[in-house]
Chains A and B, each alone.
Chain A
Amino acid sequence: MFDVLFIGLSLSSILLLVALGLAVTYGAMGIINMAHGEMVMLGAYVSVLANIWLGANLLVAIPIAFVVTALIGLVIERLVVRRLYGRLLDTLLATWGIAIILQQAIRLEFGLSFFGIHVKGLGSGLQNVPVPQALQGTVSILGQDLNAYRIFIVAMTLVLAVATWAVMYRTSLGMKVRAIIRNPGMAAACGIDVKRTNAITFALGSGLAGVAGVLMAGFKTVAPDMGATMVVDGFMVVVTGGVGSLFGTIAASGLLGEFNALVAMVSNDIIGRAAVFAVVICVILIKPAGLFTFKGR
C-alpha cells in the first residue's frame, strides 16, 4: 500500500510541477497560455544542451533553465501577451501559435538546418539527459525500496511549491499580483505598475515551467513535441483546483495523482487515466469554479 501511495505522490508531484507555472500565468493573470508546455520542453532542452556543451549535470541545469525560460517568457510577454490582456480567447490562439513556433524552432535547429548546420542536442530526434549517479536506482525508506529520482522530484516540487507560495503571499510582488487578480483597474489606481508586474509574473511562470522541464528530462524522452500533452494535464489540475488558488492547485494535483495511481494499480493505466478525467468532470459539474475559490469582484 505504501508503495502505491508513493507512486501516487510521485504522479501528483509531476502534475504539480507543470501546473505550478500555469497556476501563476492562468490562475493569476487570466491568460490561457498554450505555450506553457513548450516552456517545459525548452527547459528540458536547456538541460540537454547544458549537458552536451557545458558538461553540466541535471542539478546545475535547473537554475540555468529557470533563467533561460524566464527570459524567453519575458520576451513573449513583451511582444505578444501584453497586447492581449483581457482577451481570454485571443491569448489562447496567440500562445498556441507561439507554441507551434517554439516547437518548430527546436525541430529546425533555429532554422540552421536549412543551411546544413546541425546543432548537437537539437533537431527532431529524441534526446536524453544522463541522470546523476546518486539519483539512479533506489533508496530504502521504511523498509521500502523507492525510486531515488522520484523522491528527488517530490522534494524539488515541494521546494518549488513553497517558494511559489512565499513569492505570492510573502513578498510585495506577490501582494501586487494578488491585487491585480482582484481588480486590475483599482490596483493601477493605487499606484501598482500593472504592466511591469504582469511581465514579471509571466516570466516567473515560464521559469517554473523551465525547471519542470529539466526534472522531466530525467525520466522522459526529450523531443520537440513533449510539451503538448503536459499542458492538458496542467490545465486540468488548475481548473479542478480552482483558478487563482495556489492551494487549490496543490490539492487538486494531490487528489488526481493519488487517484490515478490507485485506480491504475487495481485495474490498469488506461482506466486510471480515464478515471482521472471522470473525477475532473464531476468536480467541474458540482463546483464549476473548482475546489477552492475566492470571491472576486
Chain B
Amino acid sequence: MNMKRRQFLSTAALATGTLAMPGYLRSAFAEGDAIKVGALYSQTGGLSVVEKMLASAVQMAASEINAAGGVMGRPIEVVTEDGASDPKTYAEKAQKLVIKDRVSTVFGCHTSASRKAVLPIFERRNAMLFYQTHYEGFECSPNVVYSGAVPNQQLGNYIPWIIEKLGKKKFFIVGSNYVYPREMAKVSKGLIEAGGAEWVADEYLELGHSEWAVMVNKIKESGADVVLSNVVGDSIISFYREFINQGLSHEDIPICATVTSEIEIAAMGPEYAAGSYTSFPYFMSLETEANKSFIERYRAFVGDPAATTYHSLEAAYFQVFLWKQAIEASQDTTAEAIREGVRGQTYAAPGGDVKVDEDNLHCWLTPRIGQWTADGQSQIVDEYPEPIKPLPYAAYGEAADNLFCTAQGLDSSKL
C-alpha cells in the first residue's frame, strides 16, 4: 500500500512538472528522451587496468547503437560509475545508479566479489545487471544476465580434450584462494575422474601472491604431467615466469589455464607462455571478418592501435546488443520487460553466434581451446561446431535434461 502511494506521488509530481514546463522544453525532452543505463566498473584501484577496458567496450557498443539510430529510436545515455576495486563501493554505486539515476539496467562488475556485493540491490530494487566475466556458476538470479562463460563451457570440453588429445593422466590443480578457482577445481575433479585420469594435488595461493618458487617446485616433484591453472591476476605472470625459469616446459608439462588471457600473456612476455593452453569461448586470434572488424573498431575507439581484445571484453560488448534486442522485443524498458525480452535472444557476436538461455539467463557460447604462440596470440586447436547450453550448477550435477536453474528460479531441492 505504502509503495503504491509513493508511486502515485512520484507520478503526480512528474505530471505536474511536465505541465509546468514551457512548451519548447517539453518537446525537446520528448525527442531526446534517452534511455539511461549504468556502467559500473572500477576506474581506479588494482582492478582498474582490466575493468576500464570493459567499460570502454560497453561505451563503444552504446555509441555504435546510437550511431545506428538508438534503441526504439531513443539514444542510450551511459552513466559511468567507479567501483574503485572495492565491493563496498560497488554496492554504494549500484544503489546510486538504481535509486537515484533510476536506471533499469547496469552493465558492470568484474570480480565475483563485486557481483555478490551488488546482487541484493538489484534483486530488492528489481533492476537488471548484465555481467560479462566468466565466473564459477552456482548462481541463479532473475536479475542478472550472464554473458560470460560458466564452468561447463570452459571445462566440459577442456578436461576430456587434455586427457584424450594430449594424453595427460596426472593433473596438478593450482589456483588463487577464493571462490572461482575452488569451484573450477570442483568441476574439474569430476571431469578428470570421469575421464579415467587422476589429480595429484589441489593447491591454492593468496590472491596477488607473486612468490612461486615453492609451488613450482611442488609441481616438479609431484610427477604430474599437466597443470590445470585457475590462477588469476598478477600472480599469473610470476607463475609462468617461475615455471619456465625452474626448467619446466610446456611441451612436457603444459599449463592448461582457464583465466590466462591475451592481457596476461602480453604482460609476462609471450615467450613464457608459448606452448601452453587456455580455454575460452573467444580469442583475439579468431579469423572471422566480424572479429577483425571488432578489433579494428575497438582500437579506433580507445585510440590505441595496439590494443588487445579478449573474452570478457567481447562479452562486455555484445551484452549491450542483447539488451537492446530485449527492449525492442518487449517494447519497454522496465526490468521485467528486459528480463522477459532477453530470453532466447540471439546475436552474431565477434566470436560467433551467442544466445541467451531461456531458463537461466546465461549465454550459449562456443567452447574453444587456444594454444599460445611466441607472438602472444593463440592458435585455436579445438573448437565446438556450435554454442552449448550454459549450466551454472554443473558442479552439483546439473545437466541439460535435469535443470536446477529455470525461469521459475532455483530448484534448491536438487542441490
Pair from one complex? yes
When distances are taken between beta carbons in the complex, the residues of chain B under 8 Å from A128 are: 237, 266-269
Interface size, chain A (Cβ < 8 Å): 34
The interface centre, meaning the residue of A220, A225, A273 with most chain B CB atoms within 10 A of its CB, is A220
Known: A148-B245, A270-B204. A11 touches B213 (CB 8 A): yes
How many whole Å from A27's CB to the nearest CB in chain B?
A: 24
Known: A265-B217, A269-B215. A126 touches B269 (CB 8 A): no
When distances are taken between beta carbons in the complex, the residues of chain B under 8 Å from A261 are: 213-214
Contact among B203, B208, B234, B242 with A126 in the assembled complex (CB-CB below 8 Å): B234
When distances are taken between beta carbons in the complex, the residues of chain A under 8 Å from B210 are: 219-221
Q: Kindly specify which of A31-39, A94-102, A130-138, A206-214 makes contact with the partner chain.
A: A130-138
Known: A127-B267, A261-B213. A221 touches B234 (CB 8 A): yes
B10 within 8 A of partner (CB): no
Q: What is the 8 Å Cβ interface bit string for chain B, positions 84-100, against chain A (1 contact, 0 not)?
A: 00000000000000000
Q: Judging by beta carbons under 8 Å apart, are A10 and B206 in contact?
A: no
B177 within 8 A of partner (CB): yes
Q: Judging by beta carbons under 8 Å apart, are A269 and B211 in contact?
A: yes
Q: How far is the CA of A261 from the CA of B211 in the complex (A)?
A: 10
Q: Judging by beta carbons under 8 Å apart, are A149 and B213 in contact?
A: no
When distances are taken between beta carbons in the complex, the residues of chain A under 8 Å from B52 are: 124
Known: A149-B245, A150-B245, A225-B46. A268 touches B238 (CB 8 A): no
Interface size, chain B (Cβ < 8 Å): 31
Known: A137-B245, A148-B245. A7 touches B213 (CB 8 A): yes
The interface centre, meaning the residue of B177, B206, B213 with most chain A CB atoms within 10 A of its CB, is B213
When distances are taken between beta carbons in the complex, the residues of chain B under 8 Å from A136 are: 244-245
Contact among B177, B213, B238, B269 with A130 in the assembled complex (CB-CB below 8 Å): B269
How many whole Å from B334's CB to the nearest CB in chain A?
A: 37
**Which residues of B, 200-243, contact A by the 8 Å Cβ criterion?**
203-206, 208-211, 213-215, 217-218, 234, 237-238, 241-242
Interchain pairs with CB closer than 8 A, number: 84
B48 within 8 A of partner (CB): yes
When distances are taken between beta carbons in the complex, the residues of chain A under 8 Å from B245 are: 136-138, 147-150, 219
Q: Judging by beta carbons under 8 Å apart, are A221 and B237 in contact?
A: yes
Closest to A216 in B: B210
When distances are taken between beta carbons in the complex, the residues of chain B under 8 Å from A264 are: 214
Contact among B204, B208, B213, B237 with A268 in the assembled complex (CB-CB below 8 Å): B204
When distances are taken between beta carbons in the complex, the residues of chain B under 8 Å from A272 are: 214
A251 within 8 A of partner (CB): no
Contact among A3, A11, A147 with B211 in the assembled complex (CB-CB below 8 Å): A11
Q: How far is the CA of A150 from the CA of B211 in the complex (A)?
A: 12
How many whole Å from B44's CB to the nearest CB in chain A?
A: 9
Q: Judging by beta carbons under 8 Å apart, are B237 and A270 in contact?
A: no
A54 within 8 A of partner (CB): no
Q: How far is the CA of A138 from the CA of B213 in the complex (A)?
A: 13
A125 within 8 A of partner (CB): yes
Q: How far is the CA of A147 from the CA of B216 in the complex (A)?
A: 11
**Which residues of B, 259-303, contact A by the 8 Å Cβ criterion?**
266-269
How many whole Å from A175's CB to the nearest CB in chain B?
A: 37
When distances are taken between beta carbons in the complex, the residues of chain A under 8 Å from B215 are: 269
When distances are taken between beta carbons in the complex, the residues of chain B under 8 Å from A3 are: 217
Known: A125-B49, A126-B234, A128-B269. A137 touches B247 (CB 8 A): yes
Closest to A4 in B: B217
Contact among B206, B217, B234, B268 with A270 in the assembled complex (CB-CB below 8 Å): B206
How many whole Å from A208's CB to the nearest CB in chain B?
A: 21
How many whole Å from B203's CB to the nearest CB in chain A?
A: 6
When distances are taken between beta carbons in the complex, the residues of chain B under 8 Å from A130 are: 269
Q: How far is the CA of A12 from the CA of B36 in the complex (A)?
A: 55
When distances are taken between beta carbons in the complex, the residues of chain A under 8 Å from B11 are: none
Closest 6 CB pairs of A and B: A138-B247, A126-B267, A264-B214, A7-B213, A221-B237, A147-B245
Give B contacts to A, CB under 8 Å: 46, 48-49, 52, 177, 203-206, 208-211, 213-215, 217-218, 234, 237-238, 241-242, 244-247, 266-269
| 24 residue pairs A–B, Cβ–Cβ below 8 Å | A3-B217, A10-B213, A11-B213, A125-B267, A126-B234, A126-B267, A130-B269, A147-B247, A149-B245, A150-B213, A150-B245, A220-B234, A221-B210, A221-B234, A221-B237, A223-B234, A265-B214, A265-B217, A268-B203, A268-B205, A269-B205, A269-B206, A269-B211, A270-B205
